[in-house]
Amino acid sequence: MYNFSVVMTEEDKKLLSSFETRLRHLIFLHGEIKRENAELKRLLEDERSNNEKIRAQYNDLEVRYTNLKTAMAINLKGGDIKETKLRLSKLVREIDKCIALMNE
């Protein structure tokens, strides 16, 4: 039977202790970075969700604005008939495009 016991000098013990301390510190920093990364991912997801809501609101407002402009153009009280005809022609073309897309 062999005796593999290693005799450590005082300097070796100090080095080992220093290594253990640094390793514990690295493990601690790793945990901190993992927590920070998880928090940043959560914040990013929240911002993406908020961004989607704002885009939906923007699109809704844009549609409402276009509808309002169309309604104002159709209203002939003091309005320009040529402008109204152009808007109606544009609406008819958009409807034709939609029907063509639905038929595909």
User: How high is the pLDDT of residue 73?
Assistant: 67
- Whole-structure pTM value: 0.51
What is the structure's pLDDT at 15?
A: 92
Tens of pLDDT along the chain (104 residues)? 555 566 778 888 899 999 999 999 999 999 999 999 999 999 999 999 999 999 999 999 999 988 887 777 666 555 566 777 777 888 889 888 888 888 87
DSSP-H helix ranges across the chain: 10-74, 81-103
For residue 13, give both structure tokens.
């013990």
pLDDT, residue 37, reads 97
Which amino acid makes up residue 60?
Answer: D
In the prediction, which pLDDT does 75 show? 67
Q: Which residues are CB-contacts of 76 (< 8 A; sequence separation ≥ 6)?
A: 84
Q: Are 79 and 73 in contact (CB under 8 A)?
A: yes
**N-term to C-term CA, the chain:** 85
Distance from C-alpha of 95 to C-alpha of 65, rounded to nearest angstrom:
18
